[in-house]
Amino acid sequence: MDRIAITGGFRLEGQLPISGAKNAALPLMCASLLTNGCLRLSNLPHLADIKTLKELLEGHGVATNVEDEGKDLSKGQTVSFTTEVITSTTAPYDIVRKMRASILVLGPLLAREGEATVSLPGGCAIGNRPIDLHLKGFEEMGATIELAEGYVRAVAPGGRLKGGLVEFPTVSVGATENILMAATLASGTTTIENAAREPEISDLANCLNAMGAKISGIGTRTLIVVGVDQLHSADYSVMPDRIEAGSYAVAAAMTRGELELIGNDLLDVLTGTVGVLKSAGLEFTQTDNGLLVKLGSDKVNGINVTTQPYPGFPTDMQAQVMAMMTLCDGASVINETIFENRFMHVPELTRMGADITVHGSTATVRGVDQLLGAPVMATDLRASMSLILAGLVADRQTFVNRIYHLDRGYERLVEKLSTCGAQIVREDGKGI
Ligand code: EPZ
């Protein structure tokens, strides 16, 4: 296995391009199943999850064509997805288990073909990740749902879902996306109440409307979808990755450097994150190309923060902010309310000299003067980023193992950070 070796203590300076958002790209790719036309997506990041989903979609009959490799750092790839005929409505376990977001093919397959058989995604490191809200939503739209041998079998009687009222008791990004995609081709109107409002959902809704869907209430907790008979071809560019941007803003602050994050509307998409980072002492200045970020003083302020659905502080930034808080002035309290097991970076940060105590879903972080380089183990995508961040400021060398987690969500991380002054290399085959 590979590992990343970092020699800490180097300021980050210069321009760092922000890639297309993984969590927008994945549902957008699934939306291609809804039309027999061509969906051309640009600014697609080069990530393991994108590759895995492409493989899954090709199994359903999607023809993919890489029109632009996006070789240089500042540009993603452009890929067209064409599904003239759906050749299979089954999403197999061996692919779904690798990436939970595969469950997002369920809505489009059910909407287009009237049936779908999708492996239950199973849990992952950060929680058991049920899909009950997805399934309940499809039942509200007339689908019958059966669970057997680890698979969900969904059928729309008469081959077409019916518009209905889907009220989510709790906010779910994936369930909102699945129901939203399915509703575009349902007969009649669907109202989604308590919809998740993450920017990635607005990106998906805007793309679906470009394909001929009739969605209103975009960005609000109530989405209204008037079903149409079919969707058509469209070109769409994936929004910038707000979690990647937030992660590198933290890197700039922790190394006392100054980074210009390159991308459009970064301050907008960073809603929910910027407020928390500003209270920690970070300063943001908009530029023609993006967003200038640095720490306004020589120590990070201790803060109290709770993760919430958008527009609150995102759970996907929790581990990265905790890494920053290990060096704060005083102490910080971090509350994780979205996932039940999202503190697995704590033992690894502690091995680097951090002072963190966890009680249930609350972590108390007392600032220390210096983190100590060590071999550490990544456990999930955002935890792996928190260890990279810690390594950037620790003394001596830090070796981050199991970086396949990182490859899922951070495009060309070593290249981006070393271009801005980090002493960081990927060591193939040296990991444990
Ligand atoms: C999406 O996951 C993101 N993934 C996650 O990002 C992100 O952490 C999460 O939303 C919350 O913002 C993608 O977009 C691919 P949820 P999702 O459904 O859709 C519970 C990353 O690091 N729940 O909003 O799976 C669930 O267990 C990843 O990029 C149910 O109980 O998240 C969780 O506690 C990690 N039943 C809460 O809701 C359901 O049917 C929020 O989950 C669905 C969810």
Q: Cβ(315) to ligand 1 under 6 A?
A: yes
| Same-domain pairing of 51 and 29 | yes
> What type of residue is 34?
L
Please state whether the predicted TM-score (pTM) of the whole model is above 0.95. Answer: yes
Q: If you measure from the C-alpha of residue 24 to the centroid of ligand 1, how many angstroms do you get, rounded to a whole number?
A: 13
> What type of residue is 312?
G
Taking only the tens place, the pLDDT of each residue in 372-392 is: 999 999 999 999 999 999 999
pLDDT confidence of 127, banded at 50, 70, 90?
A: confident
Q: Cβ(409) to ligand 1 under 6 A?
A: yes
Q: Cβ(197) to ligand 1 under 6 A?
A: no
Domain count, the chain: 2
Average pLDDT, the chain: 96
Q: If you measure from the C-alpha of residue 402 to the centroid of ligand 1, how many angstroms do you get, rounded to a whole number?
A: 22
- Rounded CA separation 265/30 (Å): 25
| Same-domain pairing of 186 and 141 | yes
Q: Does residue 430 surpass a pLDDT of 90?
A: no
Answer whether residue 35 is part of any domain: yes
Q: Which of 126, 336, 338, 410 to mutate to test the pocket of ligand 1 (most atoms within 8 A of CB)?
A: 338
Q: Which of 50, 128, 172, 192 to mutate to test the pocket of ligand 1 (most atoms within 8 A of CB)?
A: 172
Question: Nearest Cα to 202, choosing from 387, 77, 23, 398?
Answer: 23
Please enumerate in sequence order all residues whose Cβ is within 8 A of that of 399, keeping only pairs 6 or more positions apart, or say none.
Answer: 3, 4, 5, 6, 374, 375, 376, 427, 431
Q: Which atom of ligand 1 is nearest to the CA of 174?
A: 19
| Same-domain pairing of 119 and 184 | yes
- Rounded CA separation 74/263 (Å): 9
Q: Does residue 74 surpass a pLDDT of 80?
A: no
Q: Taking a C-beta distance cutoff of 8 angstroms, is the pair 115, 89 a contact? A: yes
Backbone angles phi, psi at 64, to 5 degrees: -110, 145
| Same-domain pairing of 362 and 220 | no
For ligand 1, atom 10, the nearest C-alpha belongs to 173
pLDDT in the model for residue 431: 83
> What type of residue is 99?
M
Q: Taking a C-beta distance cutoff of 8 angstroms, is the pair 65, 259 a contact? A: no
Answer whether residue 111 is part of any domain: yes
pLDDT in the model for residue 129: 79
Q: Which atom of ligand 1 is nearest to the CA of 198?
A: 12
Q: Cβ(112) to ligand 1 under 6 A?
A: no
Answer whether residue 262 is part of any domain: no
The tokens for 49 are 């999850």
For ligand 1, atom 13, the nearest C-alpha belongs to 23
Give the range of the structural domain holding residue 390, as residue numbers without chain letter: 3-17+297-431
Q: Cβ(107) to ligand 1 under 6 A?
A: no
List the catalytic residue out of 30, 38, 124, 207.
Answer: 124
The tokens for 430 are 């040296």
| Same-domain pairing of 215 and 313 | no
Q: Quick check: bond before 311 cis, omega within 30?
A: yes
Q: Does residue 137 surpass a pLDDT of 90?
A: yes
pLDDT in the model for residue 432: 85
Q: If you measure from the C-alpha of residue 174 to the centroid of ligand 1, how many angstroms do you get, rounded to a whole number?
A: 6
Taking only the tens place, the pLDDT of each residue in 187-219 is: 999 999 999 999 999 999 999 999 999 999 999
Question: Nearest Cα to 194, choosing from 157, 123, 140, 242?
Answer: 140
Question: Nearest Cα to 182, choosing from 149, 221, 215?
Answer: 215
- Region of 315 on the Ramachandran plot (φ > 0 left; ψ -120 to 50 alpha; else beta): alpha
**What's the first-to-final CA gap in the chain, in angstroms?**
6
pLDDT in the model for residue 402: 95
Q: If you measure from the C-alpha of residue 427 to the centroid of ligand 1, how many angstroms do you get, rounded to a whole number?
A: 32
**Of the residues 237, 270, 286, which one is the last residue of a structural domain?**
237
Q: Does residue 73 surpass a pLDDT of 90?
A: no
* CATH code where residue 63 lies: 3.65.10.10
Q: Cβ(175) to ligand 1 under 6 A?
A: yes
| Same-domain pairing of 11 and 46 | no
Q: Does residue 78 surpass a pLDDT of 90?
A: yes
pLDDT confidence of 16, banded at 50, 70, 90?
A: very high
124 assigned to active site: yes
**Of the residues 220, 237, 254, which one is the last residue of a structural domain?**
237
Q: If you measure from the C-alpha of residue 242 to the centroid of ligand 1, how many angstroms do you get, rounded to a whole number?
A: 16
pLDDT confidence of 97, banded at 50, 70, 90?
A: confident
